[in-house]
Amino acid sequence: MVMVKDGPNPLLAATAGQSWDHHPTPAEKLFDTTAAGDSFNAGFLAALMTGADPADALRQGATLARHVIDARGALAAQYAAAPAPYPVTS
């Protein structure tokens, strides 16, 4: 699987036979982008490992990253102890 994150453009993921995209909701506040990519990767991989399809995994990753950049520091407190999957919003 290949995945492309390209700033404000849609997220793209593809395998040899399929592709998916996701148009993430922009963050309400942009305080700190520390760990945004790591958070996206963690949400995406956790979703895949728990049975989500790639389209849902893209949404999971984008949602977690959006919550992380809405707060200062590399960890969004309201999700620090939350089990995956994280709440998904479009």
Reduced to 3 states (helix: H, G, I; strand: E, B; else coil), residue 61 is: helix
**7-56 pLDDT, tens digit each:** 778 888 898 899 988 887 777 777 777 788 888 899 999 999 999 988 89
Residue from 6, 21, 32, 38 carrying the catalytic annotation: 38
- CA-based end-to-end distance of the chain: 23
Q: Which own/partner contact pairs does 31-34 have at CB distance under 8 Å and 24+ positions apart?
A: 31/69, 31/70, 31/71, 31/72, 32/69, 32/71, 32/72, 32/73, 32/74, 33/69, 34/68, 34/73, 34/74
Q: What is the average pLDDT across 45-73?
A: 86
Report field, pTM of the whole predicted structure over 0.75: no
| Catalytic residue check, 6 | no
